[in-house]
Amino acid sequence: MKQAAALALDEDEELRPLLADLFHALNQPLTALRCALELALSKPLTVEESRSVIQMALERAESAARLATAIRALIEAGDPGEEAREVLFANYLREAVADMRPVAEARGIALTVEGWSASQVCFEARRLRQALFYLLDFLVGGSGDGATIHLRLATIGGFLVLSVHSDGRAAEGWRPGRKKNSETAVIGADLQLALARRMFEAAGGSWKMGKDRGTEIEVSLPLAGMAPGQGFPSPVLPA
C-alpha cells in the first residue's frame, strides 16, 4: 500500500512541485553536513573549532531528519490504512474544533460549525483525526487575527460534504512569503494542506479549493455503503 501511495504521489501534478521542494531543501543540510565533516578531516582543529563544527553538523542533521520525516508523512498520507471502519464524521469534526479552539481564541479567531449530519463515512479513525488537525491548523495559522472560520457540514446525495470558508486571511496570505525551498518554507502551510488533501482523497473523497487559495475549501466523502463508482456531487465552489 505504501509503495502504491508513493507512486500516486509522484503522478500527482499538483503535489509534485511540493515534493521537489522537499527534496531540494533536504539536499541543503546534507551538503552542509558533508562539508562540515570534510573540514573536520582536512586539518587539525582546536577544541573550540571542533565544538563549532560538531554543533553545525548536529543542526544540519536535525534539519535533514525533519525534512525526511515530512517526505515520509507526505508519502504515507496517500495510504488509506488497514483499519478503516464506519465512523460518525460529525463527532470527529467537533472534537477537532474543540481541540483547536483555544489556539484560535488566543489570536481572536472564531471557529464556527454549522449544520449536522448523522451520516457515517469509512475512514481510519486515527487518520481522520490527523487529516482534520492538519486542515484546521492550516486554517488557523493562515488566518489573520480576529478572523472567523466557518465550517459547514451537510449530506448531499450519497456524500458528506464539509465546506470551509474564512473571512480574514493573514496579511502575508495563506502561503507565507518565505525563501523558496528553505526548510521553514516547505514544512509549513503547503505541507499541512497537502497532507490533509491526500488523507481525504485516500479515503475515497474529493477535494476542491477556491481560486482565492485557502479561503474556500470543500471536501466530499462518500457515505458508508455507497456503491463504488458513483460520481461525486456537483461542487459548490466555482471551477
Tens-place pLDDT, residues 159-192: 999 999 888 665 444 444 344 555 665 667 788 8
Instruction: Specify the DSSP class assigned to residue 172.
Output: T
Last residue of a domain, one of 11, 46, 76: 76
- The domain total for the chain is 2
239 in any annotated domain: no
Does 111 fall in a domain? Answer: yes
Residue 148 lies in a domain: yes
Average pLDDT score over the chain: 81
In a domain, 231, yes or no: no
- Give the SS3 label for residue 152: strand
Q: Is residue 27 part of a domain?
A: yes
The model's confidence at residue 233, banded by pLDDT at 50, 70 and 90, is low
If we measure between CA atoms, which residue out of 149, 159, 146, 179 comes closest to residue 119? 159
Place of cell 480576529: 146
Q: Is residue 159 part of a domain?
A: yes
Under the banding of pLDDT at 50, 70 and 90, the label for residue 85 is very high
pLDDT in tens, 105-152: 999 999 999 988 888 999 999 999 999 999 999 889 888 888 899 999
What is the value of pTM for the model shown? 0.76
CATH classification of the domain holding 42: 1.10.287
Q: Do the beta carbons of residue 151 and residue 113 sit within 8 Å?
A: yes
Are both 95 and 186 inside the same structural domain?
yes
Same structural domain for residues 58 and 156?
no
Domain that holds residue 51: 2-76
